[in-house]
A and B are shown apart, each in its own frame.
Chain A
Amino acid sequence: MLHKRKAKTISPSSRTTSAVFEPHLHADKQLLIDVDTVSVRLGNEKALEGVSFCVHTGEFIGLIGPNGAGKTTLLRVVLGLLRPTSGRVKRTYTTIGYIPQRAAQYNATVPISVREVVELGTGRRDTARVDDALRAVQMQNVADKRFNELSGGQQQRVAIAKALAAHTEVLILDEPTTGIDERSQTEFYALLRDLQQRGITIIMVSHEVDTVLSLVTRVICLNRSILYDGLPQHFEADKYLPAYYKARHLQLHHHHEEHHA
């Protein structure tokens, strides 16, 4: 039979509410991902060129950049879904979780329950672990609902629960809050910060630059190659993302004028 790679085992005695977070409670900074001069050509187009960076435990990396900068491509390379044309990626994590853009998920014609989605993370029937994971994202009350009956924000929380149930060490998110109302967004970001504090390493692509800057421990700005890689407080949005900055500035200016009118 074609079975899954053996997952990390936990002793039954440690299966308490916090068990879903347990494997990550070490404080030392380990190297998890080493991206070494990666280039990707998609057809005739250079999607990525000479991209290098390392990811260590406990980091919260915001990956930003203009449309078509190769952000999703880079995520797919890191995840091993796409082989780079040149360069290599060294992975030393045990489990990685991927939350793609919302629309892509579980909205097929055939129903799937919230519990079943989270169970996909465990790879076997493990009610306790699924319940723990759902409780951790405050979704235990909707366990038996159909996944596609949930709001966008709730769906993303369930996706997080799936990653927790899989004992995910590294969590990769691609614009997770697109199309989600503002309140749910705030709650979702708070949840991410909570996960990071519990030791889960996060890499997130987002267009909401201001939010990213206030949330993450490190910013990588990409436009086919890396333009900036460093602390969020030193990132100059007007320099690296002029188009975004201009639009934002205009918007603020507009607001300002409206206010005065």
Chain B
Amino acid sequence: MLEILQYSFMVRALLAGLVVAVTVPLLGSFLVARRYSLIADSLAHVSLAGVGAGLLFGLTPVFVAVPVTILGAILLEWLRQNRRISGEVSLAILMSGGLAIAVVLANFARGANTDFTSYLFGSITTTAWSDVWTLIIVAALVMMCVLGNFRALLHIAFDEDSARIAGYKVAALNYLLAALTALIVVLSLRIVGGLLMSALLVMPVITASRFARSFVQTIGYAIGFALIAVFAGLVIAFYGGVAAGGAIVLSALVLLIGAMILKG
């Protein structure tokens, strides 16, 4: 078992997985509570468009994907707040629109460096040290923002009206949450993959909610379940030679089904 640590790509993947498993459920708990879990899926698809553009123009895909996805997040939140079109419709439009752009751009980029599939389903071999460091820095930033505004975000997640009455800047905080989600989605692409992102965001939270008695407990348990799923998934990906994202999400699904059987 410890032999996998002899491979430096596995060390990088595990380190990145650890960071992803801590930050994704932290954001996920707020998103699920406010019934907005599909935002991660939409943003992941948008981020793939950014990746496609990066591959096409020979730029570092992540650095193109970050601004593109944050813009997508702001657009989504603006649509939601201004009720131009309903929340789920805007999610659906951005989701398929993003993926369509991604596919077309990736097709154009064919012949150049096309590791596009690794962004779709996650991959353990393609994570570079620079990816890991970027992920750690961004994750630290995201966690600081979430913890610094914890009560406000909690209030908004469960009772937006009364948060507004209490004087919180609800609109600004909603944009903040969307932008933080965008950041984490892009940075987790390499490990989990764009098509499987929302599963990692939602499943550990739902599993945790079967056992937890409070919101803080839910976050704690969700991080625990995500860690198990990510590490199990990476190990399975290593030995089985399958896509990391698929293995991680399947592990999360097994945990969820287990929890549902245990805690009907």
Residues of B contacting A100 in the complex (Cβ-Cβ under 8 angstroms): 161
Q: Are B169 and A116 in contact (CB under 8 A)?
A: no
Instruction: Check A2 against B213 for contact (C-beta < 8 Å).
Output: no
Select B154's contact among A111, A120, A145, beta carbons within 8 Å: A120
Task: Answer whether A115 and B214 are a contact pair too, CB < 8 Å, given A1-B149, A4-B152, A120-B151.
Answer: yes
* Chain B window 134-155, contacts with chain A (Cβ cutoff 8 Å), 1 for yes, 0 for no: 0000000000000011011011
When the two chains form their complex, are residues A120 and B167 in contact, meaning their CB atoms are under 8 A apart?
no
Which of A102-110, A227-235, A249-257 is the interface stretch?
Answer: A102-110
Q: Is the interface of A mostly helix, strand, loop or mixed?
A: loop
A6 and chain B: residue at smallest CB distance = B167
> In the complex, which residues of chain A have a beta carbon less than 8 angstroms from the beta carbon of B157?
108, 110
Q: Using a CB-CB cutoff of 8 Å, which residues 1-58 of chain A contact chain B?
A: 1-5
- B interface residues, tally (CB under 8 Å): 36
Fill in one digit per residue for B200-227: 1 if any A CB lies within 8 Å of its CB, else 0: 0000011001001111111000000000
Given that A116-B215, A120-B162, A145-B213 are known contacts, is A108 also in contact with B168, CB under 8 Å in the complex?
no
**CA separation between A80 and B34, bound complex, in Å?**
22
Shortest distance in angstroms between A80's beta carbon and chain B's nearest beta carbon? 7
Does chain A have a CB within 8 A of B5? no
Report chain A residues within 8 Å CB of B32: 108-110
Alpha-carbon separation in the docked complex, A64 to B171 (Å)? 32
The answer for the CA separation of A180 and B151 in the assembled complex, in Å, is 29
Q: Is the CB of A2 within 8 A of B152?
A: yes
* A52-70 to B contact mask, C-beta < 8 Å, 1/0: 0000000000000000000
**Whole-angstrom distance between the alpha carbons of A124 and B217 in the complex?**
18
| Count of A interface residues, CB-CB < 8 Å | 32
Q: Is B161 within 8 A of A81, CB to CB?
A: yes
B115 is an interface residue with CB less than 8 A from chain A: no
Residue from B34, B149, B214, B216 having most chain A Cβ neighbours under 10 A: B214
Q: B29 within 8 Å of A by Cβ?
A: yes
Cα A145 to Cα B215 with chains together (Å): 11
Q: How far is the CA of A108 from the CA of B214 in the complex (A)?
A: 12
Q: How far is the CB of A203 from the nearest CB of chain B, in Å?
A: 13
How far, in Å, is A109 (CB) from chain B's closest CB?
6
Q: Is A146 an interface residue (CB 8 A)?
A: yes
Cα distance, A44 to B157, chains bound together (Å): 31
Contact residues in A for B148 (Cβ distance below 8 Å): 1
Contacts A4-B152, A123-B151 given; does A112 touch B165 at CB 8 Å: no
Distance (whole angstroms) from the CB of B153 to the closest CB of chain A: 10
Instruction: Tell me which residues across on chain A come within 8 A of B214, comparing CB atoms.
Output: 111-113, 115-116, 144, 146
Q: Contacts A2-B176, A116-B216, A146-B213 given: A110-B29 contact, CB under 8 Å?
A: yes
Q: Is B164 located at the chain interface by the 8 A CB criterion?
A: yes
Q: Is the CB of A108 within 8 A of B34?
A: yes
- Across the two chains, which residue of chain B brings its CB closest to A99? B162
Q: Which residues of A contact B35 (CB under 8 A)?
A: 108-109
Q: A1-B148, A81-B165, A116-B216 are in contact. List 6 more A-B contacts (CB 8 A).
A: A80-B165, A110-B29, A110-B218, A115-B214, A117-B158, A144-B213
Residues of B within 8 A of A (CB): 29, 32-35, 148-149, 151-152, 154-155, 157-159, 161-169, 172-173, 176, 205-206, 209, 212-218
Chain A residues within CB distance 8 Å of chain B: 1-5, 79-81, 96-98, 100, 105-106, 108-113, 115-117, 119-121, 123-124, 144-146, 166
- Which 5 pairs from chain A and chain B are nearest by CB? A5-B167, A113-B214, A110-B33, A112-B215, A108-B33
